[in-house]
Amino acid sequence: MIGSFQLLLIAVLAVGIVAFQVVALVDAVRRPQRAFAAEGKQTKQRWLLFLGIALVIGVLGLPPSYVTAPILNLISLAPAVIYWVDVRPAIKPYGTGNGPRRPRGPQW
């Protein structure tokens, strides 16, 4: 009973990590390339490569296993966390590059 609960918990966390990585990758795809360069971050292509490789590693960690899943998912989580904590806040003001930018005034 305990073992199956732990395995279920590991599987749920692994799926959550992969979902987090997919959202980070999609967000990076939507951001304009000039935003990465203007903010002094790695190029957009490099971030897409980092996030794509991390996603592949995360997907490899999806089959629930006590040995591989936690290690692979923790390793693959690092680039997505770095993107969300460091890169995305810096490039967010540049929008998605798909049309006119909205004014950045106060939002009532």
Please, are residues 20 and 80 in contact by the beta-carbon 8 Å criterion? yes
Burial of 11 (0-12, 13-18, 19+ CB in 10 A): middle
Q: How large a percentage of the chain has pLDDT more than 70?
A: 81
Q: What is the pLDDT of residues 3-37, one digit of tens each?
A: 788 778 888 888 899 999 999 999 999 999 998 98
**Calpha distance 74→43 (Å, rounded):** 24
Domain boundaries, the chain: 2-93
Query: Within the chain, where are the H helices?
Result: 2-30, 33-38, 44-60, 68-82, 88-91
Give CA–CA dist 100/94, Å, rounded: 11
Q: Output the six-digit token pair for 105.
A: 């005034």
The CA-CA-CA angle for residues 82, 106, 31, to 5°, reads 35
User: Is the pTM for the entire model greater than 0.85?
Assistant: no
Residue 70 vs residue 99, higher pLDDT: 70
Residues 51-69: what's their mean pLDDT? 79
Structure tokens at 10: 């590991």
The per-residue pLDDT for 103 is 44
Q: pLDDT tens digits, residue range 28-51? A: 999 999 989 888 899 999 999 999
Residue 66 vs residue 33, higher pLDDT: 33
